[in-house]
Amino acid sequence: MTQPAVFNAYSRYYDLLYRDKDYPGEAAYIHSLLTRHGVSQGDLLEFGSGTGKHGRLLAGLGYRVHGIERSSEMVAQSSQTGDFTCQQGDICAIDLGRTYAAVLSLFHVISYQTTNAAAQAVFARAAAHLEPGALFVFDVWYSPAVYAQRPVVRVKRMADDQIEITRLAEPVIYPNKNRIDVNYTVFVQDRASGAVETLTETHPMRHFSLPELDLLAAGAGFERLAAEEFLTGHTPGEATWGVCLVLRRVDAANGLLPA
């Protein structure tokens, strides 16, 4: 199954599955990270905006956010407000013909770009939407933690008043590709009838090291300003599954931009 199809099926249950995720806390963290690096207002471009949760919260914090999301169902489920809009699109190819104060890509969207070509394309598309000095902020799976902790089988259960979801996540490790394929089996039970629907999906996830991210950054005309554990700000290490990077588009006028 290709990734867009995966997310189209998944999107029906996505918000329920991640109801326990602290999106307000994450939006506040991103706001503080942006502010620390000089962006406290203005227009943000969000790569892989999902159902728009971060985007709407950041709009509530004073930004105008436009999301690009490959899954048309995710886009359809995103309620758009004046300051949060989104459109269907591929972040490896998007060209909006304008620049933003920052490009964001949150909740491992960059890790869904599993090949070098896809990762390079996303970095290039981010750079194309930023003036020199502007920021690219994203989080990824971090290789040292993936190897130290090794992904394991996990079960997650969530319910609302209509359905109960049980999700089994079974990882397959590809050590020579820096990739983990997470095979999900999702059982969705209708509480009224007891009927069960079963979905199976594979999410291929790339993990990255800092030297690898620095190469990707330099290749697209960025320099790294920060790398820290997502939310805590701690120095990344073997316990840091999700590392957050702040890159700055290098100023061509200073002669720092690669030719």
Ligand X SMILES: C[S@@+](CC[C@H](N)C(=O)[O-])C[C@H]1O[C@@H](n2cnc3c(N)ncnc32)[C@H](O)[C@@H]1O
Give residues in contact with ligand X (CB under 6 A): 3, 7, 48-50, 53-54, 68-71, 74, 90-92, 106-109, 112
Minimum distance of ligand X from residue 195's CB (angstroms): 27
Minimum distance of ligand X from residue 4's CB (angstroms): 7
Burial group, residue 214, by CB count within 10 angstroms (0-12, 13-18, 19+): middle
Minimum distance of ligand X from residue 193's CB (angstroms): 29
Burial group, residue 175, by CB count within 10 angstroms (0-12, 13-18, 19+): exposed
The single-letter code of the amino acid at 246 is V
CB atoms within 10 A of CB 76: 12
Is the Cβ of residue 9 or residue 210 nearer to ligand X in the bound state? 9
Is the Cβ of residue 54 or residue 129 nearer to ligand X in the bound state? 54
Of the candidates 73, 59, 64, 68, which has an alpha carbon nearest to the alpha carbon of residue 15? Answer: 73
Is the Cβ of residue 39 or residue 106 nearer to ligand X in the bound state? 106
Q: Please report, for residues 68, 105, 221, 255, the alpha-carbon distance to residue 126 in angstroms, rounded to integers and kept in the order given.
A: 12, 10, 10, 20
Is the Cβ of residue 112 or residue 123 nearer to ligand X in the bound state? 112
- Nearest residue relative to ligand X (C-beta): 50
Q: Let me know: does 208 contact 140? Beta carbons within 8 Å.
A: yes
Is the Cβ of residue 11 or residue 240 nearer to ligand X in the bound state? 11
